[in-house]
Amino acid sequence: MSIQEQTPVTDPQTDTATAPEPTAPQGVREAVLAAASAARDAQPALARLTRDRKDAVLLAMAEALVARADEIVTANARDIEAADAAGIEAGLRDRLLLTPERVGSIAQQLRDAAALPDPVGEVVRGSILRNGLELRQMRVPLGVIGMVYEARPNVTVDAAGLALKSGNAVVLRGGSAALHSNTALIAVLRSVLAEQGLPEDLVIGIDEHGRDGVGVLMTARGLVDVLIPRGGAGLIARVVENSTVPVIETGTGNTHILVDASADLEAAADIVVNAKTHRIGVCNALETLLVHRGVAERALPLLAERLAAKDVTLHADDTAQEILAAAGTAARVVPATSQDWETEYLSLDLAVKVVEDFDEALAHIRAHSTGHTESILTRDLESQRRFLAEVDSAVVMANASTRFSDGGEFGFGAEIGISTQKLHARGPMGLPEMTTTKWIVVGQGHVRP
Amino acid sequence: MSIQEQTPVTDPQTDTATAPEPTAPQGVREAVLAAASAARDAQPALARLTRDRKDAVLLAMAEALVARADEIVTANARDIEAADAAGIEAGLRDRLLLTPERVGSIAQQLRDAAALPDPVGEVVRGSILRNGLELRQMRVPLGVIGMVYEARPNVTVDAAGLALKSGNAVVLRGGSAALHSNTALIAVLRSVLAEQGLPEDLVIGIDEHGRDGVGVLMTARGLVDVLIPRGGAGLIARVVENSTVPVIETGTGNTHILVDASADLEAAADIVVNAKTHRIGVCNALETLLVHRGVAERALPLLAERLAAKDVTLHADDTAQEILAAAGTAARVVPATSQDWETEYLSLDLAVKVVEDFDEALAHIRAHSTGHTESILTRDLESQRRFLAEVDSAVVMANASTRFSDGGEFGFGAEIGISTQKLHARGPMGLPEMTTTKWIVVGQGHVRP
C-alpha cells in the first residue's frame, strides 16, 4: 500500500495547533472516555483469536463493504455536498470522494491485511537461563490504538484493518468533513464484528465529538495505549505537544538530497526529478536539494533544466542563483529565504543550496531535517560511508530516490505511517510496530537465592 | 547489576507530583536548555567511536574514580552532614552515603559496562529488495538521554556509563540531597572525557537547578531524545504527566502472585516468602497475594505462618480474615481496604485476597496491576496457559518468584530500569533498549517507477 498523501494547505482542523488545548465540554469528555473504555474492555476477546479467525473477520468485512457500497456512497455524497458548499479545494475533495470502485479498493486493503503474516505470538528472543528458568519475549498487541487523521475515509478502514490484524482495538477520529462517510464505514465494520460473535467496540468512531473529542482522547491515559496521528504537520504537532498518552509521531518529511562532488550527474538528475515530482504531496518527496560546490557549475544547469520540464520552482540561495543566471537557465528561480530550509512544500517547489563542502551539507541537514529521509548521490566510497553513518534520520540512502522510503517498498506489505521519532518505531511502520512484547518466564518452583 | 532500591516514603522532591508544573525562572530555563544543547552538540563525537575506544574511556573513568575517591567521599560528607541536620530517614541516608569501598563498587559498574557487548551497529534486519536496493536496519544511539532519579550517587555513574557505552550523551538530574556527591562524581567523569579528547558535555549534570531544572528538561523537545525517570511513584508520575519529551516509564510494581487451586503448597510458600521478603524496597517485590477459594483453607494458614516468621503484616480481605481466624494464625492480620489493592508497599506488608475462581483473579489483576510482573503458582496446564496468555503485564511468570523480573537475572548484564509501558521497551531494559535503529538503503541510481 502506498504512502499517504498529505494535506499541503492549512486545514480548519489543524490551524490552531499551537494554541492551548481548550477544556472539552463534560458531555464530550464522558462520551469519549466511555468509548475508549469500551474499546479497552473489548480488546481481550480479540487478543485471544487465532490468525485464522482474525483473517476471516477481515475478509467478511471486505465482503460487507462491497455488498453495502451503495449505502456508503450515499453517506459520502452528504459529506461531498457539504464540502462543495464550503468551497473545498479540489485535492481535498478528491481524497474525500468515494465511488463504488473506491469502496472496492478499500475492501481490497482488508484482504491485503488478511494476507499478511500475524505479528502476534512471534517469539523475538528466548533462552533457558542457567538456573533452568525458561525465558521468552513474545509479541503481543499494544491494546487500544487511537488513530487521529484527516478527512480520508479510506484511512478509516485501513487503520481498523491493520489494528484488528495485530490484535488491537481501535478508536478512530477522522476529519469532521468525512463524518457521514466514516460513520457509514464504521457501521459496516461493527456489524460484521457482531455477526462474527465479537464485541462491536473493537472498532469505535468518535468523529461526532469533533475537535474536542481529540483533546479528550489525548488525555485518556490508561485507556488508550498509543496515539498515532496521521496527516499534516499541524495535526501532528497538536497531538505530540498535548498528549499524555504515548504518541508515535509520523510523517513530516523535510527531505534532503545531497549531490556530492563525485556524483554521476545523469543519474543524479533522474533521481532528483523522481524524488521531487513522482508524487508531490507525500512525506518522502524531496524538499531541499544540496549541491556540492565542486560540481555546482556543471550540476545545477542540468538539474534545473530537467526540473523546469516538470514545472518545478527553485528556491535558490545566492550562489545557486548566480550559477543558474550565468548559465541562462529556463527554470523558474526565486530567492530562498531562511524559511525555505524549514519548509515541507508538498508542492512543485524545491529549495536549492550550494554547500562549500561535505561538512556544511551534514551541518545543514542536522539543523533543518525532520529526521525522515535523506539521500546522497555520490561515487565516492568515503562520502557514502560518512553520510550513511553520520546523518541521523530514520532512513538514510545512497544513490536512490527518497521515494523508496516507504513500507510498501521495504516489503512490509502494509504501512500504518512513517515514524520520525526514535522511540519504539523509526521509519516505515508495519504490523510488527503495532505490537509490544511481553516476557514469559516459566519456572519449577524457582526462588531467588 | 541488581534492581534499584526504591523510596517507599514520600520524598520532598516528589511530594507535589500532581501539582501543575510551575514556570521555571528564566535563568534556570536558559541554563538547562544550554546544558541539553551542549550534550546534543557533543553526542556525534561519541556516536562515531568504536567499541574499543568507548570501553577505554569507561575503564579510564573507573580508574579515575578510584584514584580520586577521597575527593568524592569528602564531597559526600557535606551531603551527609546536611541530611543528618535535616533528620534524614536511615534507609535514605544509607543510600546516600559513600565510602572508599562504595566508590570502588561504583567504579566496578563502569568496568562491567565496558565488558558488555556494544549494541550500536547491530544489524537487526536486512535484505536485498527485488529491485536490487540493499536494505539494513541498524542499531544507533538514541542521542541525548535525560535521567531523572533520586538521591543515589551510584546511579549517577551507572547511568552515565550505560549511556556512554550505548553511544548516548546524558543529562543527569539526581536528588538535591546528593548535590555535592553528584557534582564531584560528574567532575571526575568529565575530566576523563577531556583527557581522552572527547567533549566533556557528553556527561552533564543539572542538579544545581533543583526541581525547576527537571521541569525545563521535560520540555526540551528536540534537544533531549528520551527521559528516563527512576525512583518513586511520585517522581515517575510527575515526569510522565508533564513531559513533552518522550518518556520511558519505569519501575512502579504492584506485583501479584496467584496461588491456584492446584498449586504445590510447600513450593508456593517458598516462592511467596521469597517474593515478599527477599528484598522489600524493590519494584519486583510481591505486593498482593491472591489465593484460589478451592485451596484457601489449606494454603492460607501455611502461608501466614511462613510470612509471620519473616514479620510480614497481612492486609486481608474478609474471607481471608475468617479463614485465618478459624485457623488461629499467629500472623499479624489487619483488614484490607480498597486502598490496599492499589498499594506498592515496598515494606513488610502484603495484601491478601481470596478469589472465588480463576476469572476473578484475572479481573482483579486487570483492575489493579501496574503491569510490571505477575506470577501464577499452579500444577494445572490450562491455568498456566491462560494466565501467561491473558495477563497483560511486562513479565508474566509461572511457578517462579517475582524477584526474577530483573535485567541481571535475565542475563542482560546491565539494567537501566524496568519499563512498565508498552512502547519501545517493556520489562527489564538493557543496553539495546538505550538505542534506536535507522534504515540504511543503498542503491545504484534507483528511481521509483
Domain spans of chain B, in order of start = 26-242, 255-404
Considering only the C-alpha atoms of chain B, give the largest distance between any 2 of them, rounded to a whole number of Å: 83
Distance from CA of A141 to the nearest CA of B (A): 9
Closest by CA to A141, choosing from A119, A117, A168, is A168
Cβ contact, residue pair A411, B244, below 8 Å? no
Distance CA B182, CA B179 (A): 5
A350 contacts: CB under 8 Å, gap ≥ 6: A276, A286, A287, A288, A289, A307, A312, A313, A314, A315
Q: What per-residue confidence (pLDDT) applies to A438?
A: 97
Residue given cell 512544500 in the structure block: A345
Residue among B264, B267, B395 whose CB faces A441 most closely: B395
Find residues 246-265 of chain A whose CB sits inside 8 Å of chain B. Answer: 246, 248, 264
pLDDT band at residue A237 using 50, 70 and 90 as cut-offs:
confident
Residue given cell 519501545 in the structure block: B424
Instruction: State the DSSP code for B430.
Output: -
Q: Is residue A5 over pLDDT 90?
A: no
Cell of B361: 483473579
Higher pLDDT, B412 or A57: A57
pLDDT tens digits for A364-414? 999 999 999 999 999 999 999 999 999 999 999 999 999 999 999 998 988
CATH value of B26-242 in 3.90.1150.220, 3.40.605.10, 3.40.190.10, 3.40.50.2000: 3.40.605.10
What value does the mean pLDDT of chain A take?
A: 92
Residue among A244, A384, A396 whose CB faces B438 most closely: A396
Contact B443, A378 (CB under 8 A): no
Contact B350, B315 (CB under 8 A): yes
B271 inside 8 A of chain A by CB: yes
Q: What per-residue confidence (pLDDT) applies to A413?
A: 83
Q: Mind giving me the DSSP string for B345-378?
A: --SSEEEEEEESSHHHHHHHHHHH--SSEEEEE-
**Low-confidence residues of chain B, pLDDT below 70?**
1-20
Closest residue of chain A to B362, computed from CA coordinates: A44
Q: Mind giving me the DSSP string for B27-57?
A: HHHHHHHHHHHHHHHHHHHHHT--HHHHHHH
CATH fold of the domain at B255-404: Aldehyde Dehydrogenase; Chain A, domain 2 (3.40.309)
pLDDT band at residue A282 using 50, 70 and 90 as cut-offs:
confident
Closest by CA to B47, choosing from B221, B188, B202, B245, is B202
- Give the containing element (helix H, strand E) for A77: helix A69-85
A255-259/A226-229 β-pairing: unpaired
Q: Is residue A69 over pLDDT 80?
A: yes
Strand ranges of the sheet holding B349-355, from the earlier edge strand across to the other edge: A123-128, A134-141, A435-446, B395-400, B373-377, B255-259, B286-292, B349-355, B313-316, B332-335
Cell of A122: 512471534
Percent of chain A beyond pLDDT 90? 82
Sign of CA dihedral A139, A145, A148, A151: positive
- The neighbouring-strand residues paired with B83 are none
Q: What per-residue confidence (pLDDT) applies to B9?
A: 35
- Length of chain A (residues): 449
- ipTM for the predicted complex comes to 0.91
B278 inside 8 A of chain A by CB: yes
> Phi, psi at residue B142, to the nearest 5°?
-70, -40
A·B CB contacts under 8 A: 202
Q: Is residue A14 over pLDDT 70?
A: no
Q: What per-residue confidence (pLDDT) applies to B3?
A: 45
Find residues 377-416 of chain A whose CB sits inside 8 Å of chain B. Answer: 384, 388-390, 392-401, 403-405, 409-411
Cβ contact, residue pair A388, B248, below 8 Å? no
Closest by CA to A172, choosing from A133, A217, A204, is A204
B144-148/B226-229 β-pairing: parallel
pLDDT band at residue A9 using 50, 70 and 90 as cut-offs:
very low
Q: Is residue A173 over pLDDT 90?
A: yes
pLDDT tens digits for A209-223? 988 999 999 999 889
Residue among B48, B392, B438 whose CB faces A394 most closely: B438
Q: What per-residue confidence (pLDDT) applies to B19?
A: 55
Residue among B129, B394, B400 whose CB faces A411 most closely: B129
A293 contacts: CB under 8 Å, gap ≥ 6: A261, A319, A354, A355, A356, A357
Vertex B242 angle, CA B239 and B243, to 5°: 70
Cβ contact, residue pair B439, A424, below 8 Å? no
- Give the containing element (helix H, strand E) for B333: strand B332-335
Closest by CA to B399, choosing from B250, B266, B208, is B266
pLDDT tens digits for A131-163? 999 999 999 999 999 999 988 899 999 999 999
Cβ contact, residue pair A448, B404, below 8 Å? yes
A342 inside 8 A of chain B by CB: no
